[in-house]
Structure 1
Amino acid sequence: MATPPASAATAAPGPVLRKRCFDPVVDQRTRLLVLGSLPGDQSLLRNEYYGNKQNKFWELLGVVIDVDLRSLNYDARLAALLEHGIGLWDVIAEAERAGSLDSAIYNASHNALAELVATLPSLRAIGFNGGTAARLGRKQLQATATRLSLIDLPSSSPAYTIGFEPKLQVWRQLSNYLPLS
């Protein structure tokens, strides 16, 4: 099982922080990898993927796998995702950013997505949580696009203000890449 993500914010000159992503949560059963851009401030403070209570990530994936993820503690959420063949990571390894908006990201370095993908023999699809993750992730994964389905998802972030149901309509397609339960 993957280790819990490590803490990630370090000070940079001025009011902008250099922020770092968490470790990937994957194992050999991972069939679907969901990639975000870079954890927001609430996530970094809680040391948890999608730690902002207003972010709908856990609710969206909970519907996809038919598990009330929000009611579980964080370690149990991660275990449930892995049990259902779902892994997590971010496209950006670290960047400078004031606040949590993707539009404020600069001086970014990227994670080694292709290298991680090569270690996941069961991987069938990658879901990009939001436009920034999709734009940057697709660029990095061009060579793997022939063997994997790449899926652009509406962001689960509260900053992306379309309603839950329209988001869920798109997120539901992720179930096509998971083992039958």
Structure 2
Amino acid sequence: MTGTARLAGLPPIIPDRCTLLVLGSLPGRASLAAAQYYGHPRNQFWRLMEVVTGESLVGQDYPLRLARLGARGIGLWDVIASARRGSSLDGDIREAAPNPLAPLVARLPDLRAVACNGALSARGAARALQGHDLPIIALPSSSPAHTLDLAAKADAWRALADHVLPPG
């Protein structure tokens, strides 16, 4: 993968009272170009978060989506800070540098669980958060490349609702 530019991820989005941290692997090219988590129009993340929160998110603009997640105590980040990547597929990630998850988690007193969007994220979170007494929930990827149908993904993601703040 020589010659492939090193890509840097997005900064964490952490609400004042974070009860659930959702971790991805590393944003794909469309998300990085838009400077938005889950910015690819075919990514199912926002539809899955509608299931978790019971709120309409897909039709909202990005700042409002983030505000709604924040109001429910949901933070966003990734396990990888930067890497070389030939495509947006996780399987193409090379020379990954991890994000400092343990220090972040240590300063989130209300955190109830860490949710991992996909297998790579779950492996990275388990490694980085080893020894922390915190549930790590591995979820099917919201990526359109993960071919599990939306209903099956939603069944798994629905479990996150127990870790978010009530609407209000």
What is the TM-score with the length of structure 1 in the denominator? 0.89
Letter in 1 for 2:52: V
Which residue, out of 43, 63, 72, partners 1:75?
63
Which ranges of 4 or more aligned residues in structure 1 deviate by more than 2 Å?
A: none
8 Å CA contact 2:71, 2:165 repeated in 1: no
Q: Tell me what 2:160 maps to.
A: 174
Q: Tell me what 1:160 maps to.
A: 146
- The alignment's C-alpha RMSD in Å is 1.2
Superimposed CA distance per residue, residues 45-104 of structure 1 (whole angstroms, 9 cap, x where no aligned partner): 111000000000000001210111111100111111000110000000000001101101
Letter in 2 for 1:69: L
* 1:173 partner SS: helix
Which residue, out of 65, 72, 81, partners 1:84?
72
Superimposed CA distance per residue, residues 103-146 of structure 1 (whole angstroms, 9 cap, x where no aligned partner): 010111000000000111110000000000001111110111x2
| RCO higher in structure (CA 8 A, sep ≥6) | 2
Deviation at 1:13, TM superposition (A): 6.1
Please list, as runs of the form range in 1=range in 2, the aligned pairs for 1:40-79 lying within 5 A after superposition.
Answer: 40-79=28-67
| Count of paired positions | 167
CA distance in 2, matches of 1:13, 1:180: 48
Q: Tell me what 1:149 maps to.
A: 135
CA distance in 2, matches of 1:98, 1:17: 8
In structure 2, list runs of 5 or more residues that go unmatched: none
CA distance in 1, matches of 2:2, 2:145: 27
What is the TM-score with the length of structure 2 in the denominator? 0.96
